[in-house]
Amino acid sequence: MDHSLPDDDVLYEAFVNRDSSYEGIFFTGVKTTGVFCRPTCTARKARRENVEFFASARDALLNGYRPCKLCSPLAYRGYVPDWLAPLLEEINENPTIRLKDNDLRERGLDPRRVSSWFKKQHGMTFQAYLRALRIGQAFGRIRVGEEITGTAFETGYGSLSGFGDSFRKTTGFSPSQSPHKQVILTTRILTPLGPMLAGATAQGICLLEFVDRRMLETQVERLNKLLQAEFVPGFNPHLDKLHTQLGEYFQGKRQVFDLSLVLPGSAFQCQVWEGLQTIPYGTTRSYKEQATLIGHPDAVRAVAKANGDNRIAILIPCHRVIGSDGSLTGYGGGLWRKQYLLDLEAGNRNSNE
């Protein structure tokens, strides 16, 4: 059993019930057919003793399984299941909305199922997510000069003390400190290569990393210090655009991203990251070529380290830098992901694969 996953009995029940709240969380290998599937695959379900579970498509592939043609487990899928999409659209239109369990039932939704999905995707319950959104909205309003009292009541709080306590619990600082603070709104985005954690300030995208990358916690801590910002689950226009454009990229429909980026770092790091963005889609450069390009031909190792410090995968394409002999080296997300991205950009991998 993979200890990063829930109990096998739980996974099998989700597989049998085609539970879309587990989409992107695990894959099922069917021993009798040799294929692996999404949790929501509509094929006839195999018996318990004939299946095993994997945390990623990569693990299933390495164990000899091939992708199911019916559910296309390697194809890009949006991170929002169809049954939940109307609710999230409603929240997008009104981020300060308050919804209780009965409100969810009136919309034909099971509160436990909704909360389970939010716990898996955002690490918090649905109600905690709504509170975080309200606080995020309140922070933005106070930061641009609106009064705390009016903001508290207009975002659904019945008392200033309750608003202040919730605000401090979510952000780590009091409402009155907002004009001098910043928050990083975060969300998860599912991709064919596994879920990614995305973060954005009001100025642009500052984080896009695979959630299983070992450096992720360190990158979060660095951003916290560099931007003096707290991480709060939520969304903003930058994250909305990122979700759309990243989907287009994995579908082979986008080669250039049109997104604002926030890149705090040393002058050398910023120079390296700017250089990475000049590597055209579908091409590669060696670390030596990259070092020469930015005017530091003898700093190959320093350039490689700065590549590894890149906090915005894919958009800042450090995957396009390879060894002088053409070998794949040094990718924080794993060399298998690097190969996938290069194949995608070379046109050797289609969106339905």
Residues annotated as catalytic are: 37, 318
Separation in Å, CA 244 to CA 191, 259, 352, 353: 12, 11, 17, 20
DSSP code of residue 233: E
Neighbours of 117 (CB within 10 A): 23
Is there a contact between 166 and 135 (Cβ–Cβ < 8 Å)? yes
Residue with the two structure tokens 């599912």: 190
Identity (one letter) of the amino acid at 189? I
Residue with the two structure tokens 């060696």: 286
Which one, of 272, 244, 274, 270, lies nearest residue 259 by Cα? Answer: 244
Which one, of 129, 236, 139, lies nearest residue 148 by Cα? Answer: 139
Q: What is the dihedral of CA 228, 273, 58, 210, to 10 degrees?
A: 10
